[in-house]
Amino acid sequence: MEEKKSRKKIIIIIAVIAAAVLAISGFILMKVLGPKSYRVLKVYKVEGTSLIKHADGSEVTPYENMLLQSGDTIKLDEGTFIIKADEDKYIYLENGTEIILTAEGTSADSRTIVELKTGAVINRVDRHLSEASVYEVNTPNATMSVRGTVVRMEYIVSANGIAYTHTQVFEGVVDTALVYPDGTIVDKGVNVAEGMGVLIYRDNDNDVTDYVSDPQPIDYAKLRLQTIDYLKLVIDESRRKLSVSKEDLAKLREMADKTFTVTFKNGDTVFATQSVKAGQKVKEPKLMPTASGKWNFDFDKTIITEDTEIQWEAEK
């Protein structure tokens, strides 16, 4: 009996010593190697029509909580698509958007790059990044870096071939810079403060890449319906105070349900009419009033927020 008790005590002592050794070893490794928190990319929310293409060329239909890979191409045709990176970074894709997502390093030295090929994304970074970390959104003619903010970036190419990058800051401050066709980044950049936006354009015909103007106040009345809904979601989930309040967003949302009349005219003659919901774009008529000419309107850029009249300009 005594012998059994002695054996039991020895086993307990050995177990305690082993646990202590493991704990000390773990402590030493943490001190030597530092904390390692590896990147986790996943689909946070998804609805509608979308696609993910891996770097190896394989394609997959995304689903919620699906793990993403660095280098993935993500496309949203229509619906909702939100990506969660780590525990403090969110990327909200708007309809007609395609991005390539790169995420490397650890939480201590993270490198997150969003290559915006077309469309628009809202970027939400809840915690300020460490000095060794990078979060960038790049388009063919612009780059933007953030440390902790809520910012929207849109890239479109108009019918006449001019490329536009529109940056709107809803919280914090971001740095923007020009990117030339050869990939050169211009040293002189423009800081965009909260509640402000800046537009960059590239005219390849005239070999010009520049800012349209200095940063201007955001025109909230021209925000898209999906942008409004995403910003409301940001406020609800993060309790962030943005440059536009939840109450104002609700009013904008109510306004977005209104329908306006767009009248196409050739001189004094009405050629056609369209009913367009607030915040949506006008569709160019398939037929033309004369054999040659154009409508005096940018169908790629302009968003309707009131009754609008569009005139036909016939070629002389």
Per-residue pLDDT tens, the chain, 316 aa: give them.
555 555 555 555 554 454 444 444 443 333 433 444 457 899 999 999 999 999 999 999 999 999 999 999 999 999 999 999 988 899 999 999 999 999 888 767 788 999 999 999 999 998 888 777 889 999 999 999 987 899 999 999 988 899 999 999 999 999 999 999 988 888 667 999 999 999 999 998 888 999 999 999 999 988 998 999 999 999 999 988 999 999 999 998 888 778 889 999 999 999 999 998 876 789 999 889 898 999 999 887 666 778 899 999 998 7
Please list the alpha-helical segments (H only) found in 86-189.
Answer: none
Collapse the DSSP code of 234 into the 3-class scheme (helix H, G, I; strand E, B; otherwise coil) and give the result: helix
Fold of 41-254: Jelly Rolls (2.60.120)
Token pair recorded at residue 72: 């993935």
Query: Distance between CA atoms of 90 and 103, rounded to whole angstroms?
Result: 13
**Do 224 and 215 form a contact (C-beta atoms < 8 A)?**
no
Provide the 10 A C-beta neighbour count for residue 120: 22
User: Is the torsion defined by CA of 248, 251, 256, 259 positive or negative?
Assistant: negative
Global pTM value: 0.74
